[in-house]
Every structure is written in C-alpha cells, then in structure tokens.
Amino acid sequence: MASIRPRPIKRLLVANRGEIAVRILSSARELDIETFALYTENDINHTFKAAHAIRLRSPASYMEIDELLDIVKQHNIDAVHPGYGFLSESPELARRMAKIDVIVVGPGSDNLERTGDKLRARLLAVECQVPVLPALTEPTGRVDAIQLFVEKVGLPVMVKAVDGGGGRGIRLIHTLEDLPSLVERAIAESPSRMVFAEKAAIDGFRHVEVQIMGDGQGKIMHLWERECSIQRRYQKIVELAPSTVIDRGVVKPVIEAAVRMARKIKYTSLGTFEFLLHPRTAQFFFLEINPRLQVEHTITEAICSVDIVKAQLRSAQGASFDEAGLAGLPEDPLSPPPMHSIQLRITAEDPEKTYSLSIGKIQSFRFPSGNGIRVDTALIHGVPAVVSSDFDSVIAKVIVTARTWQDVVSKARRALADTSIVGITTNIALLRAIVDHADFRTGMCDTQWLEAKHDELLEQSRTHSQLPDPFHGLVSPQQSNESNTAVSGASLMFRKDDAWSIALRPQSSATPNTRPHHLQLAKVIQNDFPTNFAADIMFTAPGSTPQAFRMDMQSTSTSASATSSQHRQGSRSDGSHVVLPISGKLVEVLVDVGDVVKKDDAICVVKQMKMEIEIRSHKAGLVTWLTEAEDDEDVAEGMLAAVVEDEKAQAKL
C-alpha cells in the first residue's frame, strides 16, 4: 500500500519533542484527537500536553523507524505527525507506516521522494520553467568533481549535502584555497556523504519562501511568503512575513512559481518552496523544497489568522480547504496580507564563540506577554529543563504581530527586552541588537547581512546584555520568579540589607586576631546561587569607611554551562592544556597517554547539533594526561581534554 485514503484520525502519535511537539499536540487536542507523546530521560516537558507519554530507548530513537512502528502497533495508533527535523522528510517512514495502515501527516512518500531530494526538486523547477542557478546535475562525494565545476562556472559556489537540513552540510566557497577543506566538511555532514554544488547568488539577494497547501488532486493554494534572510551558519534565526520587499509585483512571480511547481506534482499537505530573490532587479532563483511543517509556520499563521497545523490535520482526514479552515484567503499574490509578523528564535548558543552550544540546566526564565505576542516553547514553570547535545538548540520562539512593519519592529524590541533565560548562554542579546539595527528597521537585510555586520552586532549585543534591573531593586529576579514565572536553581534566599562579617587568617596561625571585613547587600541583581550571584554591595575593610561595589560570582567548581560536570577544567593560559572550545557530546578520544602528537593532530571528537568537530592539539608533544570522560557523555566548554608536554616529548624523540 503506497498511500492511505484520508479517514478520521482517532489516536495521533507526535514523533517529535520540544516546542514543535507542544504545538502539534495543542491543535490535535482541539480536534478531540487522543494524543501520544514520546520522551527521553531529562527531556519530558512537552509530554505534559499529551494524553499519553511513551518513553524511548534513547535520543536516537526519534530516528528509528522500527521502534516507532513497534510503538504504533502496541498502542493502536492510527496516525503519526513527524513535525520537522528527525524523520519528517523520510519517504521510508511514510511507506512503512502505510503498510500497516497508519497515516503519516504530511505530503506522502511520492511527494517526499520528489521534493526532499535537492537535485530532484531542482529538476522539477526546470521542468516548470522556474529559474535555477548553474549546478551539478548529479551528486558527488569527490572534491575533484567540485573543483571541475568551479572551473566552469567560477566562484563563489555553494556546496550542499543532498540530504542535509537545518543548515548542516552547507558551505559557501569564496576561494580555491578553501575549497578542499570546505567540501570535505560538507561531505562529512551529509548522511549519504553525497553533495552537489551550484553557483552562489549572494550580493543583495533575499531568502524568500512560499507556504503552500495542496489537496493531492492538483488544487493548490498559497499562504503568502516569508522572508528568512537573517541566518547564522545557514540556519534561520529571524523570520518575517510577509517579505519586506515593497513591490508586490516583484514577489508575485516567486509565489506563482511555487504554485506552478506544487500543482505539477499534485502536492499534498503543507510544503515550503524556497527561493533567492533580488528586490532591485526582480531576479529570482529556485533553492529547494521543504516538504513538511516549517519552524517558522507561526508567522504565516499570524498574518493569515489560520491554525495551519489544524488545517494540516483536517486535510489528512479528507477535509476540503474550506472545511480545513482556509476559506476566504486572497489568492492574488499582489494583495498583501493585512498583518506583519516576526519570529525570533531563542537558542542555547553563544554568538561570541561561533554559536557554540550551551549545555546545562535552565534555572529561570521570563517570557514576554501582551497584545500581538506569542511564545512557543516546551518550558514549564516549576519543571526542570536541561539543554543537552542530543537535540536542536532552539529553546523558544517569540512571535510578534502588528498591522504595520514599524509597529511589529517596535513590538519585537519590547518583547526581547522582556525576555530572559538564566543558567545557560543564549542568543537573546544578539537578537536585541538585530532588531534594533537601522538596516533591520528599514527592511534592508539580505542573506549576507548578518555575516557582514556580525562584529558590529556582537559589540552592540554586549550593551544589550546589560539591561537595567527590571525589578528596580525591589525584589531579586529569583523572588519574582518564585511566584509565577520561573524554575529556579538558587538554593538560598538573599535579600537587601543581609550582611556578613568575614575573617580570613592563615591556617598555620594559632591566634584568631584577624580583624573582620564587613559585607552588606545593597541590592540583589541575580540570585542563582551557587551557580551565579550578582549584587550591589557595601564593603568595609578594617579601619576604613564603607565602599560601594558590584559583585559578580560564577561557579567554577562545576561549570554553569553543563548539566553537571565533575571533570577537570582546563586553563587556556597553560600552554600544555588542550581545552574544549565548545560544549557537546564526546564521540571519541583518539589518543592515549604516552602518545607523541604533532601540532594540529586530533585529540578527540565532540558532536554538537549533529556536527562532529575534531579538537586538535595546538602544539607538538607527549600526551601525559587524558580526560576520564566517557564516549557519548555530555561535556562542557572549558573541560580539559588532554595535557601535552613539550619537554618529555623531546626526551622521548
């Protein structure tokens, strides 16, 4: 059985986690569908929205079709929604579920095979007379094939994994010197180890995508377009709808191209057709198709006033567009939507350190509220939340909506000012800098904007990270959070006017004649003791008058960026230390104590968001110590991976 005729869904398994699982579960519950959630250890928050929760064997189980099949059979589930990521673009999942008469909510195996493969999607564009960039016509796993292509079309060139996603397996090549290493890294990030290349269109181009809905019979409708030009490492962090391209006549051919391609293959369910568009020349090129629900579907919902997840679920049960809640939407691309919306992705990453993943426990959080503000997250007040290297770094999505572009930008600035997360490093300060920038406020950001302005934005973000105390010193963030807005990691309560006498004396001294110092809290700024503590204090040394200080304390015995790290911390000032520059999951230690290594030899491999990164020795020498961390263990930035000594190596050589 290749496909299943639409029918009522009674029991739905959401084969995903985090905020998208919460999103799908919410719409399914409104349709009176019995819901099932999946979870793994330390990742349970999204299950609170489901009628049933099923534990998986491991985080990798989200990618195991056999395990999902067993769950579906055991619980008499008749439909699966894969969300995005994981198996959402897997034709095999759709085929194998169809064999046991289970619906997979989405385009179906035939559409997935035609659109999920980037080269096959490109051929569809050519067939539909949609402009494409010069590209390789077959996938390759060889560097020399890319070199030959560059000789024909010139630089810059974009190399992409045929089966990549989420920004993985993509490299922009500007110079021939960088080509071999960049191609090899793209190949390494491709599950099939196959890539293709196309001429890059970068100067002034915007990333514009069209939201499509199809009924499987050739009827197609668009839900306008989104603009997703602001990306880091080819992953979107700020999305907006509609595009800031003012001339709708420039956007119209892009929407028409998407509809034409979808109609050609009788597309079913939700899909996103992505393009590069130059607003001044009106030139555009097809990029790829995402045959699934998108992370940024929220802003389409905002400008259309439609629950498109609910529409997708209804469509899977045989509903017409009107019955699915899509009636009355304008079909003319020249007609702009009545609203503007922006989505801001809050991620557990450190922009100051090349967006390194920040692993750890979220101790407290505060999200915005008010008219035109929506927050999609799996975080729940009072329930511990841990960021690990097993899953994507998105913690929450803040969506703001208003009638004009100027109003929606102002709302975004206010919403981010009202957002905070304690316990891990996030990109919130960078997002504040982005929405505050003049280029963003005037809608002038192309696909290269974030990279070009990165240093400027980082500098500005340092200012944005030092916002005034929102509680005006009346209460600490900890106290406020206790009432209704946070999970706290603090184990002690501190208040204004708490005071201590502090006496320090050498252990060898037998006489306790040391005169004490005095410390008094003037204002508690942050209390996540013992991990973090900040306060304004009055400090009095013996025989002196009180002086005002700002005190900031951070735990170094256990890393604040790790769930729990008892491993030895490295010192970057020690030339013999090989220190982890990122957090992630330890894949493998590649050397042993006693090995002689050369400069740039790999010491270990750390996996971060599905990318494996080799940690290399910055010097030649003898390995005299290695971390005791085990394979597949979460490890924190700053952990000591190895000690490499010069002198002993020279003696051995």
Q: Which of 95, 122, 292, 432 is catalytic?
A: 292
Query: Which contacts (CB < 8 Å, 24+ apart) does range 70-76 have?
Result: 71/13, 71/36, 71/38, 72/13, 72/97, 72/100, 72/102, 73/100, 75/11, 75/13, 75/36, 76/11
Per-residue pLDDT, 571: 85
Which helix (DSSP H) or strand (DSSP E) does residue 365 occupy?
strand 364-366
Torsion 295-298-304-307 (CA) sign: positive
Per-residue pLDDT, 471: 62
Identify the bridge partners of residue 275 per DSSP, sorted by sequence position. Answer: 208, 286
292 is catalytic: yes
CB contact burial 243-256 (16+ within 10 A = b; e otherwise): bbbeeeebbbbbbe
Locate tokens 């004490």: which residue? 516
**What single string gives the DSSP state of each residue in 88-131?**
TT-HHHHHHHHHTT-EESSS-HHHHHHHSSHHHHHHHHHHTT--
Cα–Cα distance for residue pair 264/232, rounded to 1 Å: 33
Per-residue pLDDT, 2: 53
Cα–Cα distance for residue pair 621/576, rounded to 1 Å: 9
Per-residue pLDDT, 75: 98
Domains, the chain, with CATH or none = 11-105 (3.40.50.20), 134-199 (3.30.1490.20), 206-464 (3.30.470.20), 577-652 (2.40.50.100)
Q: Which residue ranges in the chain fall short of pLDDT 50?
A: 1, 482-491, 557-564, 653
Per-residue pLDDT, 488: 40
Question: CA end-to-end span of the chain, whole Å?
Answer: 66
Q: Report the predicted TM-score, pTM, of the whole model to 2 decimal places.
A: 0.80
Per-residue pLDDT, 483: 41
Per-residue pLDDT, 264: 98
